[in-house]
Amino acid sequence: MDKIKLYTNPKAQQMLYDMRDSGRIGHSFLITGKQGLGKKVFAKFLAQMILCENSNNAPCGECNSCRKVAIGEHPDVIYAEHSGKLEGFSADFIRKEIVSKAYIKPNDSDYKVYVFEDCNNFQTRTQNTLLKLIEEPPKHAKFIFTAISENVFLPTILSRTTHIELFEATREECIEALKDKGADEEEIAKALEFCGNDIAKCFAYIDGNGEE
């Protein structure tokens, strides 16, 4: 099964499930939280939910769409490219590769999902290039942004997005994630000692990247 498992933020997860059950998943999402909280994983989970072929049980982790999203090969999930020293987004790229192509129908699914990761240096000029599309999107277009803080975004974009704020994992959630990874009790204890309840850092420690 290729369903992405989320260990943290049950309230945020429930909000997505409530949207799914009501049949009204929003068109634009902003996922915020400090570094290492799993914003990109949460974004991929949301993309799975949007594109899943089993709408009553999305994301199922078993359909063709879920599997493709999980391995990063779904043609209707488009990741915006970063550019420049500050790893922002080029207004020209947004205009040519996203705004001009957003109205083209999806390849395999009912929706196209545009993912903007690490929007921590999202310049105003670039946001303005995207603004009209966010304000009046085609029915088949969905947008997911991840950032440390919502403060980088224009108020006009924020007003049209569903904000999901992520928080640090509890100790119990971190232990569950490490057990699923295959860590034994000694490894788990050491990971928690050095990395606290940061799942990403604990995983890195277990993988042998403890110094990093």
Residues in the chain: 212
pTM here? 0.91
CB atoms within 10 A of CB 44: 22
Q: How far apart are the first and last CA of the chain?
A: 31
How far is the C-alpha of 121 from the C-alpha of 51, rounded, in Å? 28
- Retrieve residue 156's tokens: 């006009």
Which pLDDT does position 209 carry in this prediction? Answer: 62
Which pLDDT does position 1 carry in this prediction? Answer: 60
Q: Which whole number is the average pLDDT over 20-33?
A: 94
How far is the C-alpha of 167 from the C-alpha of 189, rounded, in Å? 22
